[in-house]
Homo-oligomer: A and B are copies of this chain.
């Protein structure tokens, strides 16, 4: 479906990600509309020519005409929107999202959704340390991953549409994972790293440390500047997988601590060699 540019696309939540979706898709010739909280976001996007029309209200005509709807909202806002407004969606519409956690969202939405509308979930793994449609760009997705997380309820057609959307948006790696695989992976690579960064940043309040800080500490705490509203919600929404990753980390950290206590040099060197070898896999290609 998506390759047919006569179809209409609606972005709900015109921020950094939603705005970047609009920018790229508009260039392909799709009709793009937006529903978002702030009139200033609509005005900016109209002025930039990245949407055709927009509203801060639940515009029934716009929603009812849209073939593909992208929800770029906080998880709980997305769930509430569907619960309250799904009756406005067009019969046969496909809806997708940008939510950073999947298991706690995907089944809930699919279970409550009308039978004549299909939700195929996706996670565009991209972002910047700023927000708002004003910071959106049309090249944010180069080099980034786009993960589609289908379930038994999804049709192959909707899955293909969502994969095609990721490729149109310019993601370098477009792939599928189950919601559970996705959440485990994101729990480790993204959420655990944020847990570590904020812990390191707050575990020692001694003054004047910054005078002696080098690159190592700065690297490990770059992401310690964090949107507390969004991340606390994402942590809870992925609670089980994240707790599991935190336990794995603590266990390994305690292993290292025991080796240091007993001055087990060989054990520490083995761990460091393992670390060095495994890190090589993660170099940017």
- Whole-angstrom distance between the Cβ of A214 and the nearest chain B Cβ: 6
Q: Total interface residues on A, using CB and 8 Å? A: 83
- Whole-angstrom distance between the Cβ of A166 and the nearest chain B Cβ: 14
- Whole-angstrom distance between the Cβ of A260 and the nearest chain B Cβ: 6
Instruction: Indicate with 1 or 0, residue by residue over A178-206, a CB within 8 angstroms of chain B CB atoms.
Output: 00000011101110111111111111111
CB pair A282 B218 closer than 8 Å: yes
Q: Known: A254-B250, A257-B246. Is A282-B193 also a contact (CB below 8 A)?
A: no
Helix, strand, loop or mixed for chain A's interface?
A: helix
Q: Which of B147, B184, B281 contacts A210 (CB 8 A)?
A: B281
Interface core residue of A188, A245, A273 (most chain B CB under 10 Å): A188
Q: How far is the CA of A95 from the CA of B215 in the complex (A)?
A: 29
Q: How far is the CA of A269 from the CA of B203 in the complex (A)?
A: 15
Q: How far is the CA of A281 from the CA of B225 in the complex (A)?
A: 11
CB pair A239 B263 closer than 8 Å: yes
- Whole-angstrom distance between the Cβ of A224 and the nearest chain B Cβ: 4
CB pair A272 B228 closer than 8 Å: yes
CB pair B265 A202 closer than 8 Å: no
A173 at interface (Cβ–Cβ under 8 A)?
yes
CB pair A250 B253 closer than 8 Å: yes
Q: Known: A188-B204, A194-B216, A253-B195. Is A260-B279 also a contact (CB below 8 A)?
A: no
CB pair A276 B145 closer than 8 Å: no
CB pair B201 A189 closer than 8 Å: no
- Whole-angstrom distance between the Cβ of A211 and the nearest chain B Cβ: 7
Q: Known: A221-B282, A275-B197. Is A213-B189 also a contact (CB below 8 A)?
A: yes
Residues in chain B near residue A210, CB distance under 8 A: 281-282
A217: nearest residue on chain B (CB-CB)? B189
A61 at interface (Cβ–Cβ under 8 A)?
no
Q: How far is the CA of A282 from the CA of B37 in the complex (A)?
A: 34
Q: Known: A236-B263, A276-B224. Is A209-B190 also a contact (CB below 8 A)?
A: no
Residues in chain B near residue A253, CB distance under 8 A: 195-196, 199, 203, 246, 249-250
A-B contact pairs, 17 of them (CB 8 A): A125-B212, A185-B206, A186-B212, A189-B209, A194-B216, A197-B216, A198-B272, A216-B222, A218-B282, A220-B220, A226-B276, A228-B272, A228-B276, A232-B265, A246-B260, A250-B254, A250-B257
11 new A-B contacts at CB < 8 Å, known A221-B282, A239-B261: A185-B212, A196-B220, A199-B252, A201-B279, A202-B252, A203-B252, A213-B282, A225-B275, A226-B275, A228-B273, A235-B268
A contact residues vs B (CB 8 Å cutoff): 125, 144-145, 147, 173, 175, 184-186, 188-190, 192-206, 209-214, 216-226, 228-229, 231-233, 235-236, 239, 242-243, 245-246, 248-254, 256-257, 260-261, 263, 265, 268-269, 271-276, 278-282, 284
